[in-house]
Amino acid sequence: MSEIIYVPPTPGAVKSVFANLDCLIEAIHQLKKAGFTNFIVTSPLPRHEIEEQIYEGRPSPVRWFTLFGALFGGTGGFSVSALSHVNWPMIIPAGKPLVSVPAFIVLTFEATILFGCFFTLLGLLLNCRLPANDLQIEVQDPRFSDDMFGLVVNGLAKADAGKVKRILGEAGADEISGMEELSHG
């Protein structure tokens, strides 16, 4: 028999649920306009409109992981090939070079692709913060992976909670919760 454990809401957090993507985008825009930038957005499917609104056109940092992985792989692939060839020299007629670049292009290319992919996966996992074992309770709403969009604003003071709830309500949130224990005290 499993035991149900009560997890209290995160202090200073307001959770809102949206059924419509346009309402969510408007809420993000209004929150940023009001100076609130500490929020988490969850979506049941990837939408580029959300990324554009949150990141304001800045590219993903995962591309740097790919670049460094490809450079590492290409350099490593060529180095392993060349050093192996130098350690077991053969008699090469007609004064041809011992380390010939065309002979190692295929292995260099394959190592570039392989390590570029590995580093991309690593960058993706790190930037997505996976595995996500420490998600706050507001983000764990099962509706956010089914058919609803979620927006959780964190780090709010008691005075800001009302303003954030008003912004979210005006933007078209279907449900707004959080900070109730602060408003009664």
CATH for 50: 3.30.70
Which pLDDT value is given to residue 109? Answer: 98
78/165 same-domain check: no
Instruction: State residue 66's pLDDT score.
Output: 98
Specify if 5 maps to a domain.
no
pLDDT at 183 over 70: no
> What was the pLDDT predicted at 119?
98
Mean pLDDT of 64-93: 92
Residue 4 lies in a domain: no
Residues 66, 115, single domain; the answer is yes
Domain that holds residue 34: 14-59+136-184
94 falls within a domain: yes
Mean pLDDT of 16-38: 96
Q: What is the pLDDT of residue 94?
A: 79
Is 70 exceeded by the pLDDT of residue 164?
A: yes
Q: Is residue 119 part of a domain?
A: yes
Same domain (yes/no): 120, 80: yes
Q: What is the DSSP string of the chain?
A: -PPP---PPPTT-EEEEES-HHHHHHHHHHHHHTT---EEEE-SS--HHHHHHHHTTPPPTHHHHHHHHHHHHHHHHHHHHHHHHHHS----GGG--SS-GGGGHHHHHHHHHHHHHHHHHHHHHHHTT-S--S--GGGG-GGGGTT-EEEEE-S--HHHHHHHHHHHHHHT-SEEE--HHHHH-
Q: Kindly report which listed range (17-21, 76-80, 124-128, 150-154) carries the lowest average pLDDT score.
A: 124-128
- Residues 55 and 74 occupy one common structural domain: no
- Confidence tier at 181 by pLDDT (50, 70, 90): low
How many folded domains does the chain comprise?
2
By mean pLDDT, which of 48-62, 91-105, 153-167 is the weakest?
91-105
Q: Report which of residues 9 and 20 the model is more confident about.
A: 20
Question: Do 73 and 37 share a structural domain?
Answer: no
Reported as a pLDDT band with limits 50, 70 and 90, residue 185 is: very low
Mean confidence (pLDDT) of the chain: 91
